[in-house]
Amino acid sequence: MGRKDAIKLGMAVCGLGAAAAVLLASGNVARPTAVSDPRPLHGLCTDCGHHFRIEYQDYRKVIEDRREQSARHEPGGQLPGRRPVVLTCPQCMKPSALIADRCHEHDVYFPKYLADGARGRCPRCKPIE
Ligand SMILES: [Zn+2]
Ligand SMILES: [Zn+2]
């Protein structure tokens, strides 16, 4: 292609870039890297058994709140070990909900990590001994 065409192409690319920048600016994209993991998570209340969805951003917010709290209360400011993040159940409003995983074979939700930090298991794949 000729020089003029190359310039035209360059301008078109610039235009696209500008349009993309406008789109990004208009959306609430504070951290573009976070967009790569927008999947909703699942919560399971260990008290009333309620199962609910939690947006990834909301989950992150909970983690950050916890981190701030522990920074205030603990000199080290570190998150306590591998303890799972406890969520507030939207149904019974108790802080008894854990992040849940789903068994694709049995279509069952179960806590991803138990209160002691151990990995949870599908109760039907692995019956309690
Ligand atoms: Zn509940
Ligand atoms: Zn299973």
Ligand 2: distance of its center to the CA of 125 in Å? 4
Ligand 1: distance of its center to the CA of 103 in Å? 21
Ligand 1: distance of its center to the CA of 44 in Å? 8
In this prediction, residue 65 carries a pLDDT of 87
Q: Return the C-alpha torsion angle 64, 93, 45, 55, nearest 10.
A: -40
Ligand 1: distance of its center to the CA of 100 in Å? 13
Return the ligand number nearest the Cα of 121: 2
DSSP secondary structure letters along 58-73: HHHHHHHHHHHHHHHH
* Average pLDDT over the chain, rounded to an integer: 77
- Encode pLDDT of 30-58 as tens digits: 555 545 556 789 999 999 999 999 998 89
In this prediction, residue 66 carries a pLDDT of 82
**Which sign does the torsion angle of CA 98, 103, 109, 114 carry?**
negative
In this prediction, residues 67-72 reach a mean pLDDT of 78
In this prediction, residue 55 carries a pLDDT of 92
Return the ligand number nearest the Cα of 95: 1
Instruction: Give the residue with greater pLDDT, 12 vs 112.
Output: 112
| Residues near 115 by beta carbon (within 8 Å), at least 6 away in sequence | 46, 83, 84, 98
| Of the candidates 46, 73, 62, the residue with the CA atom closest to the CA atom of residue 54 | 62
Contacts for 66-69: CB closer than 8 Å, 24+ residues apart: none
How are the residues of the chain apportioned to helix, strand and coil, as percentages rounded to the nearest 5? 35, 20, 45
